[in-house]
């Protein structure tokens, strides 16, 4: 029997493809160290380099009967390491993009959602307090703030004096300021 360490790469590949574990071990022993050094140079990370080399050898054994070697064994193995490295970079980029997107959502999305909920609650509170105003005062106030009619237009529409409109609007604002509190009232003024 011929010693496996005296066989050429071509002979080792032929034996590997027929399922010879000794040939696989010889290929591993012959190239593992060199591939690891190469992987360390391109990844700049010993752990990633080790993982890449292990994946290449796992793939070599797992697909031994279907791999077609168009080049030398060494060229195939170095190319496989390079391919695994680029694949790793792609996965890191996708993971990084996902993490960045998730961080952005956490930083901005929750704030926007929280803000939208608070704004909805505040609007409901303001609407509730407006609905509790006396009917005529509420009607005048809503024409002023929601329909954005001038005091003169409201007076003509309701057949009352401009002074009455002005007083009703001012009284409504005073009542809302007391009921809503100063901060909420200022927000209300910005909205309406």
For residue 40, being part of any structural domain is answered with yes
Mean of pLDDT over the chain: 82
Instruction: Give the global pTM.
Output: 0.49
Q: What is the pLDDT of residues 83-134, one digit of tens each?
A: 998 888 777 776 666 566 666 666 665 555 666 676 777 777 778 878 888 8
For residue 52, being part of any structural domain is answered with yes
Quote the domain boundaries for residue 25: 4-85
Whether residue 142 contacts residue 153, with contact meaning beta carbons closer than 8 Å, is answered with no
Q: What is the pLDDT of residues 7-38, one digit of tens each?
A: 898 999 999 999 999 999 999 999 999 999 99
Q: Locate 15 and state its tokens.
A: 């034996």
How many domains in the chain?
2
Q: Whole-angstrom Cα distance, residue 46 to residue 32?
A: 14
Give yes or no: residues 138 and 80 share one domain.
Answer: no
Give yes or no: residues 76 and 147 share one domain.
Answer: no
Give yes or no: residues 8 and 80 share one domain.
Answer: yes
Q: What angle do CA 177, 181, 184 make, to 5 degrees?
A: 90
Q: Which CATH number characterizes residue 55's domain?
A: 1.10.1740.10
Whether residue 126 contacts residue 184, with contact meaning beta carbons closer than 8 Å, is answered with yes
């Amino acid at each position: 029997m011929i010693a496996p360490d005296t066989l050429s790469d071509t002979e080792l590949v032929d034996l590997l493809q027929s399922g010879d574990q000794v040939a696989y071990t010889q290929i591993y022993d012959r190239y593992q160290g060199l591939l690891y050094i190469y992987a360390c140079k391109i990844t700049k990370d010993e752990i990633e380099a080790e993982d890449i080399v292990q994946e290449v050898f796992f793939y070599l054994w797992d697909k031994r009967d279907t791999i077609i070697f168009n080049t030398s064994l060494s060229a195939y193995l170095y190319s496989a390491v390079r391919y695994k490295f680029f694949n790793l970079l792609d996965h890191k980029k996708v993971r990084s993009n996902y993490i960045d997107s998730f961080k952005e959502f956490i930083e901005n999305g929750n704030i926007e959602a929280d803000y939208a909920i608070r704004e909805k609650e505040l609007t409901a509170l303001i609407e509730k307090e407006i609905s509790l105003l006396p009917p005529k005062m509420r009607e005048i106030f809503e024409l002023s703030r929601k329909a954005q009619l001038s005091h003169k237009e409201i007076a003509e529409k309701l057949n009352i004096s401009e002074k009455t409109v002005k007083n009703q609007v001012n009284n409504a604002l005073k009542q809302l300021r007391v009921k809503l509190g100063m901060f909420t009232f200022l927000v209300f003024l910005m909205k309406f």
